[in-house]
Structure 1
Amino acid sequence: MTSQPALIRETFPVGPLQCNCTIIGDPISKKAIVIDPGGDHELILQRLDELGLRVVSIIHTHAHLDHFLASGLMKEKTGATLHLHKEDQFLWDNLEMQCSMFGVPYTPVPAPDFWLSDDEELACGCGVALHTPGHTPGSMSFWFPNDKLLIAGDTLFKQGIGRTDLWGGDYATIERSIRQRLYILDEEATVVTGHGPDTLLGDGMRNNPFVRA
């Protein structure tokens, strides 16, 4: 029995706040999802082209400005749909205010096409969306079990967790999300964080100074 080829996965920092944008591609259908296009839409489109992938959906771990500054332009150039958890709509609707607070130029972004839900199957890669609130009320993580890959956004970092002092953040909630939704996954999984380097889930379970398993 032949095994399924591994997903195409590429992660690189984009935008003024260097958010990690991740491309997930199906090696057979060549469909792709783009997670957190936080800027530099031309770079993202170039990488998709070089990988021979066609983006079908643009999904967001949450609605802080640095994770969707290029979402509108990506949608305009590709026709891909925008996806977000409903509980982060208030942040999406206040992008201009967020940009002004952080001194970042404002580019309007259309409303999301679809609201993400907990345990929803993603458009490619046999991935599933996990609602992991705490950093924001609608924070999501994306789990690809066949490839032992977790896209954690700003919920979990290498030796850290997401801040909870911004709009809608809550420390007890993020701690519960990490323990009950993320630390139950395969400890050999690679964790792609919202900023900075990848980490291993098992390393976080044992050594994260903020939340241990």
Structure 2
Amino acid sequence: MDAAPPALIRETFPVGPLQCNCTIIGDPLTKKAIVVDPGGDPELIMARLDKHGLKVVSIVHTHAHLDHFLASGQMKEKTGATLHLHEADRFLWDSLELQCRMFGVPYTPVPAPDRYLRDDEELACGCGVALHTPGHTPGSMSFWFEDAKLLIAGDTLFRRGIGRTDLWGGDYSAIERSIRQRLYRLDEQATVVAGHGPDTTLGEEMRENPFVRA
């Protein structure tokens, strides 16, 4: 009998002034990794990568609110990894300085994205796909790792909550559709990594989320 492949490396930890959940996803065989939402503390992120012996090949973003990419420029400079975003959020990416002023957060310039994410695009680590889940922002993305039963939902879905839709480009009807038609059709046993706060499972949210139930 063939041995099961080693489990995906996954570590999630809060970073930055607004405590965004940054997630490292690594292939245990190739040691290639992606970093999702480096919202600050680049030295901490690099230390966690070094602990696992991983090399970052791409930095991907669930959306372009400042707390999800404050350290993206520094991470790119340190690693040479490419920056990825859905094109519909480029207007937010380009307004980082304005966002920082509004929230009283120090501004660190970030270069333009290297390429734009597409719906159902395979991620660079070869172990997951990008899902376009608009609503919190027009270009909000979730990242689905089927074999690991893992969903990185950004600020689309939280434990017993959903993302705000009263900020730039928010749309309540769109986020409801994204959750019902994209996320709730995935494996209900999957772990959900939200953009902030604790993990949950899809099944729990389908039954217990007070905003959107299956």
Runs of 4+ off more than 4 Å: none
Distance in 2, matches of 1:158 and 1:119, equals: 24
Aligned-pair distance for 1:125? 4.8
Alignment of 1:29-178 (within 5 A): 29-178=30-179
Distance in 2, matches of 1:146 and 1:124, equals: 13
Give the aligned partner of residue 190 of structure 2: 189
Give the aligned partner of residue 16 of structure 1: 17
Distance in 1, matches of 2:34 and 2:17, equals: 22
Q: Letter of the aligned partner of 1:88 in structure 2?
A: D
The total of aligned residue pairs comes to 213
Aligned-pair distance for 1:124? 1.0
Distance in 2, matches of 1:81 and 1:183, equals: 30
Q: Letter of the aligned partner of 1:33 in structure 2?
A: I
Q: Is the contact made by 1:152 and 1:193 (CA closer than 8 Å) also made in structure 2?
A: yes
Distance in 1, matches of 2:174 and 2:106, equals: 31
Deviations 1:40-70 (A, max 9, x none): 0000001101110000000000000000000
Structure 1 unmatched ranges of 5 or more: none
TM-score by length of 2: 0.99
Cα RMSD between the aligned structures?
0.5
Give the aligned partner of residue 7 of structure 2: 6
Distance in 2, matches of 1:71 and 1:182, equals: 26
Deviations 1:115-136 (A, max 9, x none): 0000000011520000000000
Distance in 2, matches of 1:61 and 1:125, equals: 18
